[in-house]
Amino acid sequence: MIEVTNEDNMALMARYPDNHFELAIVDPEFGIGIGNSPRLVTDKGLKKKEWDNKPISMSYFDDLFRVSKNQIIWGGNYYPLPANKHCVIWDKLQPEKLSFGMFDYAWTSFNGPNKIFRYLVQLEKNKIHITQKPVKLYEWLLMNYAKKGDKILDTHLGSGSIAIACHNLGYDLTACELDKEYFEAAMKRLKQHQSQTKLFL
């Protein structure tokens, strides 16, 4: 079941008891103003947004760690999170001389050797969100870090890529998105994908 709401993530998490979710996969704001980036707003034609103008409150992480047993947090390097023994890198396969970041980093609560997912960022077409990540990335995360029957949490749905991945692999997802435009675009994207899947079957 995919359950997505248009609300603040603190309100969503307040409704759940401790350790309700087996795994949280989140991509919170970094506080670096990426929503105003000329490279993304002007060059890519995406709408200017203010959501990343300030970092998220550390109380958000207190609640995230309360409601989930394990976490994968994109951009964890921007926050004073606990020391960890395992991280995930998304290698975007970008040429070194480009001004774009060559990889994204995720803090995790897991142990073991660090992992790298290699996937060309340009393969992600029809972007609806400034920091949109590929469905393939979320499928890889679920296949490597989730177990059958796990309940998944995403507090920053964004473009909805994780919802499509959970639909494809049969995971229950609870997610929210505060921005109404992003929420509506993500839900439209998810419903179109679900319709195409049914048609194909």
What is the pLDDT at residue 124?
75
What is the pLDDT at residue 68?
98
What is the pLDDT at residue 56?
87
What is the pLDDT at residue 127?
84
Q: What is the pTM of this model?
A: 0.89
**Residue with tokens 């994968």, as numbered in its chain:** 72
Question: How many residues does the structure list for the chain?
Answer: 201
What is the pLDDT at residue 81?
95
What CATH number does residue 82 fall under? 3.40.50.150
Secondary structure string (H, E, C) spanning the chain: CEEEECCCHHHHHHCCCCCCEEEEEECCCCCCCHHHCHHHHCCCCCCCCCCCCCCCCHHHHHHHHHHEEEEEEECHHHCCCCCCCCEEEEECCCCCCCCCCCEEEEEECCCCCCEEEECCHHHCCCCCCCCCCCHHHHHHHHHHHCCCCCEEEECCCCCCHHHHHHHHHCCEEEEECCCHHHHHHHHHHHHHHHHHHHHHC
Residue 96 belongs to what domain range? Answer: 2-200
Total number of domains constituting the chain: 1
In the chain (201 residues long), the average pLDDT of successive 10-residue segments reads 96 98 94 60 61 79 98 94 95 79 94 96 80 94 97 96 97 96 95 77 48
What is the pLDDT at residue 9?
97
What is the pLDDT at residue 29?
85
